[in-house]
A and B are shown apart, each in its own frame.
Chain A
Amino acid sequence: MTERKPTGQVAEEVERIALPFLGDVSRFALSLTRDESEADDLVQETFVRAMRGWHTFEVGTDARRWLFTICRNAFLRSRERSHRLVLSEEGDLDAMQAVLGHVYATRAGIGDLFDRIDVGPAIRKAIDGLPEPHHSILVLIDVEEMKYADAAEVLGIPVGTVRSRLFRARRLVQEELIEHARDAHLLDGNGGRGAGEGG
C-alpha cells in the first residue's frame, strides 16, 4: 500500500494536476446531463471524489481520462436509469444504413447541404437523442477528441465495442440530419440523379 498523503498535500496536488481539466470535465458533464446546474453539481462531485480517491491516481498518467471515468460513474450512479435504452447490434441493419447513407450522400444532392442550412440544431437534437452509451462514445471521441482506447477505458468497454457503437452513433446522427433535410424539402427523396430515369 502507498502511504496516504495529508489532506493539504492532496488538495494541492488535485488543484495542480486535476483542476486544469475543469473545462474538459465541465463540458463532459454538460453533455451527459444536458443541464448546466445539474452538470455543475456533477463536476463538483467529480472533483470531491477525485480528492477522496487521489491515492488511486498514478501521477504521470492521463488525469483527464481518470476524471472522465469518475465523472461518468458518478453520473450513472446519480441517475439510476431504470430504462436503459441500449440498441442491439444489428449488423445487417447497419450495413443497409451505410448503403442508404451512401445513396443519399451521392445521389440526393446532399454534398453541399452543410453550406445551405445551419445544421447545428439538427445535429444537436440528433446527438441529444442518442441512447447510452452511444451518446457518451460520440461525445468523447468526436467532441472531446479522445482516442478509442481512452474512451474504452472511461466507459469500461472493449475498444471494438467503442468502434462499432461510435459508427452506429454517427450513422444515427447522419440519418436524423438527412431526415431533417428531407422534411425541410432540401432533398429530393428519390435521389436527384436517378429520378425520372427509365419511364
Chain B
Amino acid sequence: MIKPEKVKFPPDCEVVVRAIWDYLDGNVSADQLAEIEDHLAECEYCVAHTEFERDLIRHIKQLRARHSDPERLRHRVLAAIRDAKSE
C-alpha cells in the first residue's frame, strides 16, 4: 500500500496532474497554459509524467485497425448500395 506521506513532490505539481489531459489535448486556457508551462520548466517529474502520457496517446493512435482486404469490402458495400432502395 502506498502511504500518502511517502509520496512527495512539490505541491504545485497539482496544476499539471489535474490538467494533464486537457493540456495534452490543447484544451487549456492561456492562463492555465502559462501556469503549467512555468511548472514544467522547473519540475522534472512533471516533465517525465507529461512525456509518458504523450507517448501513451501516440501509441494508442498507432493501433489503428487495418482491414485485411479493403478492396473486397469496397466491392461488397458498393453492390449493397446499388441494390438497396432509398426511402
Contacts and interface: CB of A to CB of B under 8 A. Distances in A.
A173 B63 contact: no
Contact of B84 (A23, A30, A52): A52
Interface stretch (A70-78, A81-89, A117-125): A117-125
A98 B63 CA distance: 24
Question: By DSSP majority rule, is chain A's interface helix, strand, loop, or mixed?
Answer: helix
Contacts of A6: 86
Given A22-B74, A44-B76, A52 B85 contact: yes
Nearest to B77: A47
Nearest to A101: B49
A40 B68 CA distance: 11
B interface residue count range (under 10 / 10 to 19 / 20 to 34 / 35 or more): 35 or more
B13 A174 contact: no
A51 B65 contact: no
Interface in B40-87: 45-46, 48-49, 51-53, 55-57, 59-68, 70, 73-74, 76-78, 80-82, 84-87
Given A11-B81, A44-B77, A100-B2, A51 B86 contact: yes
Interface of B: 2, 6-9, 13, 17-18, 20-21, 27, 45-46, 48-49, 51-53, 55-57, 59-68, 70, 73-74, 76-78, 80-82, 84-87
